[in-house]
A = this chain, B = another copy of it.
Amino acid sequence: MVRDKEATKAKLLDAAMDEFAQYGIAGARVDRIAAKAGCNKAMIYAYFGSKEGLFDELLKIQIDRMIQQVPITPDDLPGYAGRLFDSYRDQPQLLRLAAYHRLENGFDAIPAAEAEAYRHKVEAIGRAQMEGRISAEFNANDLLDMVVHMSILAFTTPNATRALVERSVSRLIAE
């Protein structure tokens, strides 16, 4: 038997991803997570404190990954929305995680890393507008809200396509 703290944590996080995405926070079962990870249930409490603790750390990691994976391109917002859409479509689990989190914790309780990344993106869009590179029809904050909201279409609508998202954002920022 190998003893590796980090490897065990990783296996638990991996199993937790499946479980939380499928059943939500209230519906997730700690025993199932432990079994899927091939670990003992007690490890969850040793490393993450509680079921909620495990969920919070998992969400934070996944959000950080997504932020790194899909950087914003203020000069190509339709493309940004499209790339976000593809990411969400390819890994629907993150969106489900975030949805459950928001449903159970409200608008507040947004992870600090996410809030900060959001501020940076608003600033980037604001600069592009000031320099006249994109439309200033909407203020930067609203515009980012709309763009992100569009990329979420994969979650709301069964037959949504990337092309539809990109065309919609194009029309939003058209001069």
Contacts and interface: CB of A to CB of B under 8 A. Distances in A.
Interface of A: 23-27, 96, 99-100, 103-104, 107, 137-138, 141-142, 145-146, 148-150, 152-153, 156-160, 164, 167-168, 171-172, 174
Nearest to A141: B159
Instruction: Give how many copies assemble into the complex.
Output: 2
Given A24-B26, A99-B99, A107-B158, 9 more contacts: A24-B103, A24-B104, A137-B171, A145-B157, A148-B156, A149-B150, A149-B153, A149-B156, A172-B172
A171 B25 CA distance: 38
A146 B158 CA distance: 12
A47 B160 CA distance: 38
B167 A138 contact: yes
Nearest to A135: B171
